[in-house]
Structure 1
Amino acid sequence: MINTISIKKELESSNSQESKYFSFFFYYNGIPLESTEKESHALWGMTLLKAGSMRFRWNETNENRTESLKKIFPDKKITPLELIHSKTVFEAKDEGDTEKLQGDGIVTKNPLLIPTVTVADCLPIFLYDHEKKAIGAFHSGWKGTGIVGAGVEKMIELYGSKRENISAAIGPHIGDCCYFVDQERAEYFVKNFGKKCVTKAGDKFMLSLTEANLSVLKNAGIKEENIVVARDCTCCTKFENGENIFGSFRRQAAFLPPEVDADTRSRSMTVQAAFVTLN
């Protein structure tokens, strides 16, 4: 049985609505992998709307991103990629290994590194092998759906990971409640990731990136009880006071007229940093 959580409820129940980021456990055999005095485990998480834009390009400087992530991880090194909506996964052994690289996934065994991708409706997904102490962070937009499968294979190849020891976490992303696609894209997902990905409502098609990635994880041999899914939708999930929790392309930028260029459109949304860390 797949484990589910609500980041909204976690923040509200812990009186952390003013927090600028969250972090959460992985699951193994249906049980949260919490760190103890005898053994430490990985955490996955994401910055929130309150933190501001975490936009990243190799040829740009984002002081807000740099300062914000330093506060979260003062003793570790952020390991980024410039994203291209691909299924390309890199290994980072040391600081700087991903410099100037473009792709959408990072794996590592170095506890000093924080694999970090950016998202604003796209699906952040994370892997953790508690035996080999290996982690990975992946950006899965619709074009890159399947990258987490490549991540599993990379961890098996590089670290000797066993599928039954790998845990996966799906972070907040746009839900099928807000993600309407045309028939061509709907048919592509049904063909490649199964019928559960798409729901038809009248003449509209609602796409579930969650179901698509669960299909990928299943085909990669990841057990359901080792998966946790955040139920929150980045586009519409709000606190009880009506305040938006996450940045969202569709809520913040999709309505802009077609003459608006891609860079301006990109800067109109609050991009979030999604990360995984070995404690």
Structure 2
Amino acid sequence: MNLTETAWGYELKTEEITILFGAMKAQTADLRKAFPDLKLTRLKQIHSDAILETHPLSPDYEILGDAHWTKAKNLALGVITADCVPVFLFDSKTKIIAGIHAGWRGVASKIIPKTIEKLSAQSSAPQDLQVFIGPHIQKNSFEIGIDVRDQILSSLGPLSPDERHEYFDDISKDKVLLDLHKVVLTQLNQSGVSPENTHSLYIDTVKDSRFHSYRRDKEKAGRQVSFICRTS
């Protein structure tokens, strides 16, 4: 990704879209001042697999869900994170965009593949999608129990023991370090997205103090806002 670091985070601008992967300073009121031509709309995220269409008149932060899509111009689809995975989709043929909040529960419930299915119903072919993955908790920071590991890995379908172990390192008999990013990449591949069209920003929100992290700061953690917007 040809990203530019700004006061708000990492920004990608093309002739067709603007993407911001927000850092600590990326708060809603400030972003609205910084991007006055865009209408920023957020979902009230609930770690679900609910996917909705957002319209220019959709209310901000009132509708429950964790992924939204639109074909409207200058409508910025907001995603709020503090370790979860912000994922943005864009199809230059159909001009459709989507913003996904994928925590481990969302990944386990396959919210990313389900969003791709939703876009396919709008005539957007998976192989035409460009996918952008922002800062989130990385493997060496993501210590979880085997129950959570199994919920996440079940989203990939049947795996041999060797295949399963490609996604995690054992810490103890009941704890592992799991590579959530690799799980997301596999889900995208299984959904028909080309690896050449997948772009990742490899930043660990837990270890990088420029970003809010719930795993690091617990109840004191804030949230950063990211967005994708179609501009032409």
**Scaled by the length of structure 2, what TM-score is found?**
0.87
Question: In 1, are the aligned partners of 2:87 and 2:101 still within 8 Å (CA)?
Answer: yes
Q: Shift in Å at residue 97 of structure 1? A: 5.5
- Show the counterpart of 1:113: 75
Q: Is the 8 A contact 1:95 1:113 kept in 2?
A: no
Is it true that 1:169 corresponds to 2:101 in the alignment? no
Q: CA deviation at 1:270?
A: 1.8
User: Does residue 222 in structure 1 map to residue 193 in structure 2?
Assistant: yes
Structure 1 counterpart of 2:114, from 147, 150, 154: 150
Distance apart, 1:202 and its partner CA: 4.4
Structure 1 position 271 matched with structure 2 position 219: no
Residue in structure 1 matched with residue 146 of structure 2 by the alignment: 183
2:214 corresponds to 1:249: yes
Question: In 1, Cα distance between the equivalents of 2:34 and 2:115?
Answer: 25
Greater Rg over alpha carbons, structure:
1
Deviations 1:85-121 (A, max 9, x none): 0111101132226662100011001012100020000
How big is each residue's C-alpha offset from its partner over 1:207-228, in whole Å with a ceiling of 9 and x where there is no partner?
1211111121112110000001
SS in structure 1 at match of 2:106: coil
CA contact (8 A) 1:46 1:274 kept: yes
Instruction: Determine if contact 1:90/1:98 at 8 Å carries over to the other structure.
Output: no
Residue 271 of structure 1: how far off its partner (Å): 0.2
Structure 1: runs of 5 or more not aligned: 26-34, 55-64, 238-243, 254-264
Distance 2:155 2:117 in 1: 19
- Decide which moves more: 222-231 or 189-198: 189-198
Partner of residue 90, structure 1: 52
SS in 2 for 1:153: helix
Q: Quick one: which amino acid aligns to residue 152 of structure 1?
A: I
Alignment correspondent of 2:8: 20
The CA distance in 1 between the partners of 2:143 and 2:204, in whole Å, is 13
Superposed CA RMSD: 2.0
Which SS does the other structure have where 1:87 is aligned? coil
Paired-residue identity, % = 25
TM-score (norm 1): 0.74
| Matched residue, 1:206 | 177
1:247–1:99 Cα change, 3 Å? closer
- From 64, 86, 90, the equivalent of 1:128 is 90
- Letter of the 1:135 partner, please give it: I
Aligned pairs (5 A) from 1:225-244: 225-237=196-208, 244=209
Using the alignment, how far apart are the partners of 1:182 and 1:232 within structure 2?
Answer: 23
Q: Report if aligned partners of 1:92, 1:106 keep a CA contact under 8 Å in 2.
A: yes
- Give distance in 2, aligned partners of 1:44 and 1:177: 27
Residues 50-74 of structure 1 show CA distances to partners (whole Å, capped at 9, x for unaligned) of x16x4xxxxxxxxxx22x1212320
1:72-87 correspondence to structure 2 within 5 Å: 72-87=34-49
Partner Cα separation in structure 1 for residue 42 and residue 154 of structure 2: 32
Distance 1:210 1:43 in 2: 23
1:252 CA displacement: 1.0
Mapped contact 2:44–2:61 kept (Cα < 8 A):
no
Are 2:105 and 2:152, in contact at CA under 8 Å, matched by a contact in 1? no
Distance in structure 1 (CA, Å) of the matches to 2:56 and 2:189: 31
Match of 1:241 in 2: none
